[in-house]
Structure 1
Amino acid sequence: MASVSRTPRFGVAFDIPPTTLTADDLLLRPFTEADEVGVAAAMGDGAILSWAAGLAVNAAEPADRARLWLVPRLAGWSSGVAPFAVADAGDGTLLGYVGLRDIHRAPDQAVAAYWTTPAARGRRVAARALDAAATWAFSPAADGGLGLHRISLDHAMANPASCRVATRAGFREEGVMRESFVAPDGTRHDSHLHARLAPDPRPDL
């Protein structure tokens, strides 16, 4: 794994060398232009659109959604974001996404997000990918990681599947964020806040 290219200044975006990780049968790698087809299929899934795609993607024409979602992830590594395509290590099929943003915006912290395609569900793909990304991010920069101490994430309480992913990946529930999630139809939902710390034990996945 490559190391972070320069010492981060808190609150300032910095370059992260594009990184590839493995987790058993999963390959976590940077997105490429060729992933647009797989992302387009994912953006046709109602659960991803409802909980993970974002309001701008939902508001776009269906034919434009994949490109709108993908372009920032293609450039993310150069702006202090670590967006991983989660693929089948055997045949390269795109199975999902796990990303870290707001890296070092607060000292030694980041925020995680994830989704999986319908065909990949039931295999703990999201939990295993999230664990792999977190473990890498917690490792020191000298060892190719980000040197983080805390990674948080939140999900709408109306999305219990995301709660299961977070818990399985070792992200403990910390509280409720009232009406923090805005659904594509404008409905506001309370969210669960989860976090994992560098000294927390890795989950048994």
Structure 2
Amino acid sequence: MALTPARIEVDELVLRPLTVADEPAVAQALTDPDVLRWTAGTAVLRTPSEKRALKWLETRIDGWSRNNAVFAIAEATTDVLLGSVSVRDVYRVPDQAVVAYWVSPVARGRGIAARALDAAARWSFQPRAEGGLGLHRLSLDHALVNVGSCRVATRAGFLLEGTMREYYVELDGRRHDSHLHARLATDQPAAGS
């Protein structure tokens, strides 16, 4: 069952489906070593740098048809992409999905990732009859050395559940322990939400 693309407004931001028009902003974000290291993926990293943004976008634009709600995080007034948040593998496990996020360096320090992640979680927990996904559990993981991602997860109400030993593998083969976080539909809303 394909997901119906959604649009979510959050303060001065909007979460909306990605488009080919986002390519310049994605290309700029993919020049950041942290975005490349933690979120680009092997296929993108193996693509020549001038083609990486389109490679990254190609599987995400039509992700909705494959049970992956992939949102651009954009300025509401300009519609310029600042990052991305995704709810993927929806219903692969009953009532569950996995979330991921990144924010371009030019937009960091404004709490954008945590607010977007919280908004995506709230939408995911809404009943299907109200336009949400009707999920009960969302999980995410990040390498322990990615401290910023841990802060985002915690601020968005994702509780730390444990450490997965040597779970994250970088392209060069280096392994990192990873934190596993989760948020349930029954959890208290994130602070400041």
TM-score over 0.5 for the pair? yes
Equivalent position of 2:104 in the other structure: 117
User: 1:52 aligned to 2:42?
Assistant: no
User: 1:180 aligned to 2:167?
Assistant: yes
How far does residue 106 in structure 1 lie from its aligned partner after superposition?
0.6
Letter in 2 for 1:193: L
Corresponding residue pairs, total: 192
Cα distance in 1 for residues equivalent to 2:54 and 2:80: 18
Equivalent position of 2:18 in the other structure: 31
TM-score by length of 2: 0.98
Letter in 2 for 1:47: D
**CA contact under 8 A between 2:85 and 2:101: conserved in structure 1?**
yes
Equivalent position of 1:4 in the other structure: none
Deviations 1:123-167 (A, max 9, x none): 010000000000000000000000000000000001000000000
Could you tell which deviates more after superposition, 155-164 or 87-96? 87-96
Structure 2 residue corresponding to 1:95, chosen from 54, 60, 82: 82
Equivalent position of 2:148 in the other structure: 161
SS in 2 for 1:100: strand
Equivalent position of 2:30 in the other structure: 43
Cα distance in 2 for residues equivalent to 1:15 and 1:114: 21
Equivalent position of 1:10 in the other structure: none
How far does residue 204 in structure 1 lie from its aligned partner after superposition?
2.2
Equivalent position of 1:79 in the other structure: 66
Equivalent position of 1:11 in the other structure: none
SS in 1 for 2:93: coil
Write out the 4+ residue segments of structure 1 that deviate beyond 6 Å after TM superposition: none
Equivalent position of 1:5 in the other structure: none
Letter in 2 for 1:202: P
Q: Which has the higher contact order (CA 8 A, sep 6+)?
A: 1
Structure 2 residue corresponding to 1:20, chosen from 1, 4, 7: 7
**CA contact under 8 A between 2:125 and 2:135: conserved in structure 1?**
yes
Q: Which runs of 5+ in 1 are unaligned?
A: 1-13
Letter in 1 for 2:37: S
Equivalent position of 2:131 in the other structure: 144
TM-score by length of 1: 0.92
Letter in 2 for 1:183: E
Structure 2 residue corresponding to 1:196, chosen from 175, 180, 183: 183
Q: Which runs of 5+ in 2 are unaligned?
A: none
